[in-house]
Amino acid sequence: MPRRPNNSRQTRALLATLLDHPHTWRHGYDLAKETDLKSGTLYPLLMRLSEQGLLESCWQEAKRPGLPPRHAYRLTASGLALAREQELAAIAAERAGALA
Partner 1 sequence: MSAVSGVYRRFAVKLAQHASWLLSGAQSPWAAAMRRELEYIDDDSAALRWALGCVAASYRARLADWLRFDARAWRRVATSAVMLLIGLTLLENAGGQTQPPRPRFDETVCDLPSVSPEVRPRLRCGTVSVPRDYENPSAGRFKLAVVIIKSEQQPSWPEPVVYINGGPGAPLTAYAAYQARTPYAPLRDLILVDQRGTGRSEPSICPDQERRLRDATFAIAATNTDEEMARRQAAYLACRDQAIGRGLDLKDFGTRVTVEDFESVRQALRVERWNVYGESYGTAVATTLVALHPNSVRSVVLDSIYPPDPVLPRSLIVSDAREAFFAHCARDKLCLTSFPDLAETYRDTLVRLDQNPLTVTLPPQMRHGEDRITITKSLFEVGLSNLLYDPNAYPALPRIIQSVHDGDAQGLAQELGTVLASQAAAAEAINRATQAAVECRDRPHFHGPLTVAASVLDRAQLYGVCDRWSEGGPPPLVPVGTRVPVLVLAGQFDPVTRPAASRHVAELIGGSARFVEFPLIGHNVRHFSACGTRIAADFIDHPAQTLDTSCTDRVAPIHFQPRHDTP
| Residues near partner 1, by CB under 8 A | 27-29, 32, 38-44, 46-47, 57, 63-71
Closest CB to partner 1 among 41 and 84?
Answer: 41
Rounded least distance, CB 58 to partner 1, Å: 10
Provide the minimum distance between the beta carbon of 64 and partner 1 in the complex, in angstroms, as a whole number: 6
Q: Across the strands, what pairs with 74?
A: 56
Amino acid at position 53, single letter: G
Q: Smallest gap, in angstroms, from Cβ of residue 32 to partner 1?
A: 8
Question: For residues 54, 74, 47 and 72, what is the CA-based torsion angle, rounded to 10 degrees?
Answer: 160
Say if residues 91 and 13 touch (Cβ distance below 8 Å): no
